Amino acid sequence: MFSLKNKTTIITGGGSGIGRATSILFGKQGAIVCVVDINQDQVEETIRLIKGEGGKAYGYMCDVTVQADVINLYKKIGTIDILINSAGVSHIGKADTTTEDEFDQVFKVNVKGVYNSLHAALGIMKQQGAGIILNLSSVAAVVGLADRFSYSMSKGAVYAMTMSVAKDYIGYNIRCNCVSPGRVHTPFVDNFLSKNYPGKEEEMFEKLSKTQPIGRMATPKEIGYLILYLCSDEASFITGSDYNIDGGFIKLNS
């Protein structure tokens, strides 16, 4: 079950966090993984990890905010069976404390970056007569989170783009879904805690972990398993759906 043998898969943001965990998992399942990221060292490390597990992988440096670069890269790759839009940035701030430059940067990566990737891939998938798209949204898209104004905005847009693409391309045998994680223990969390709570990292990590009713943060691999299912043939009847993977955060805190 859940075989992805020889399915060419593009994973943006594949150099770290959820993108890296998903890249490694897809490699194990037989996919030909195209790791796309802006950080060359991280791309190379992900490729090393995939190949260490016996998987097939290729690395590509690309800034997803530059449409021409994304279009040229996807044309170069040629076949796109699966597209996973995982590249993204976070931001801490309210509407009146977020600067215009900060807002624009979050929008460029999290919204325009996903749009650029969709724009470049959908034409190829239409010609193929099939394709699978998985976008990374967040619980922040539907739940008010303190100090996450621009990030929430961007993930709400990802949710909306997912539903629109699912509707517009269902006739081309293209499925499009998104997943909405709660807090996930990624390098961003560790960097955020060390920057904002020096000396209190463990205390704050425990506090953030307990905001999920399940009592901990998710691991990137756990998010990857849900992505694997939604991109597999076993999920062939699923499109236009958003899946919360949040340790009960939305339903059990309401």
The answer as to whether 49 is a domain residue is: yes
Segment-wise mean pLDDT, segments of 10 residues, the chain, 254 residues: 97 97 98 98 98 97 98 98 96 95 98 98 98 98 93 98 98 98 91 87 93 95 98 98 96 82
Single out the catalytic residue among 151, 159, 169, 197. Answer: 151
The answer as to whether 14 is a domain residue is: yes
The answer as to whether 196 is a domain residue is: no
The pTM of this model reads 0.96
User: What pLDDT is attached to residue 254?
Assistant: 63
User: What pLDDT is attached to residue 191?
Assistant: 85
| CA distances (Å), origin 103, targets 55, 78, 156 | 38, 33, 14
Annotated catalytic residue 151:
yes
Total of domains in the chain: 1
Range of the domain at 76: 8-183+219-246
The domain spanning residue 226 has which CATH number?
3.40.50.720
H/E stretch holding 180 reads strand 174-181
The answer as to whether 197 is a domain residue is: no
Q: Are 84 and 134 in contact (CB under 8 A)?
A: yes
